[in-house]
Structure 1
Amino acid sequence: MEDWVYRALEKWPNVPALFGWLGLDRRGRWTIRGELISRPQIIDTINPNYAADEHGRWFFQNGPQRGYVTLESAPLVLHSDGCGRLLTHTGLAVDTAEAAWLDENGALWLRTAHGPAVLEGEDLYWLLEHLRGPQTPVDEDLLAETLALPSGSRTMLSLRLGATTLPLGRLDFDAAPKVLGFVREPQPRDAEAGAAG
């Protein structure tokens, strides 16, 4: 978080949180009430002040007010930088991960130091270049067999990420929040019940 946020929290410690206003779409774009946020100044304010609470609910700390974020997919959306590295939608480099999975649609899920992250859509070419199997490159048949496995299965594939190779598991999209410890649709807890937006 930026210093101005901490100063605002000290000055106004009890500002109610907002729920249902902010969102993050599957492409890593911020939304407010379903409309894309396109102004770079706003995006540059949100990105460094985006974090998770102890319950796995992700939020933007806007000065003294916390705005919880509804997630279409994952808290962090990954993109390739075109040079073989992955970056979060907030601009953080992902050079390592603790665990990796493929979902039923072929998206890559990672448990990173920055939080739960997904790579999907146009950037899946990166995944194909970094997959390893009994035969490399991984062919379409093996990939199809892997995607057809039940959620929770181990696969014959692994992922090369930086200097490490991670075994790939299979994880359904709907199971990702529980396994990775995040909440897609944050709701107020009892003490916050009057703050819903």
Structure 2
Amino acid sequence: MDDIVKQAMVKWPNVPHAYGWLGLDARGHWYLRDARAQALGGFASGAPGAKGSRIEHQKLIEFIQRNYQADEAGRWFFQNGPQRVFVELEVTPWIWRLAPDGAVSAHDGRPAAVREVFTDEAGRVFLRTDLGFGLVHTQDVPWVADAVEAGRWHPRPVVAADLAAREGYVSSPQAASAAG
């Protein structure tokens, strides 16, 4: 976490949390969701416009990613100064990128060591790593196939609807907060 963020948390300890305003999609892209986007539906709903606006500013993306973490309830958030901005997840809290040599990194560029490999009923590939659980970016599935064919990875089946509860993350902190 950035030092300036830590300082702001001490200076303003009682800033309310923000829900629904930030999303992470299945390709590792960040989205800002204003009130209009939120009114169109949930981040992962697939409703046109509900995702909001993709963040393109590289320094802002880097700031978000340096201050991205989970709380004890499995809700992922971006610590924006004194305010926690909870993240709506399209699929998982991590999106994995693979390289032809088998190296794995998170959507924020951090290297990760694979512990387990899974596939769901739609053929999507998920990895449990030393950083946590996430989805393999669709463009990188050929590298997964290479690892499976070489005998390095042995995917196990999972049911997509069970993943959040099984892996301990909350896909929609906004919906969870509204539910009580």
- Please give the TM-score of this superposition, normalised by the length of structure 2: 0.82
**Structure with greater strand share of residues:** 1
SS in 1 for 2:95: strand
CA contact (8 A) 2:68 2:78 kept: yes
SS in 2 for 1:110: strand
1:130 aligned to 134, 147, 161, which one? 147
One-letter amino acid matched to 2:27:
R
Count of residue pairs brought into register by the alignment: 160
Partner of 2:119: 102
Partner of 2:138: 121
Alignment of 1:33-52 (within 5 A): 33=33, 34-52=52-70
CA contact (8 A) 2:99 2:143 kept: no
Aligned-residue CA RMSD in angstroms?
1.9
Please state how far the C-alpha of 1:87 moved relative to its aligned partner: 0.9
One-letter amino acid matched to 1:114:
L
CA contact (8 A) 1:106 1:120 kept: no
Partner of 2:13: 13
Residues 169-191 of structure 1: CA deviation (Å, up to 9, x unaligned): 2112211101111111113659x
Partner of 2:49: none
One-letter amino acid matched to 1:89:
H
Alignment of 1:53-132 (within 5 A): 53-97=71-115, 99-131=116-148
Percent sequence identity over matched residues?
38
Please state how far the C-alpha of 1:120 moved relative to its aligned partner: 3.6
SS in 1 for 2:61: helix
In 2, the alpha carbon distance for the partners of 1:83 and 1:40 equals 27
- Please give the TM-score of this superposition, normalised by the length of structure 1: 0.75
SS in 1 for 2:23: strand
Partner of 2:155: 168
In 2, the alpha carbon distance for the partners of 1:14 and 1:120 equals 37
One-letter amino acid matched to 1:20:
G
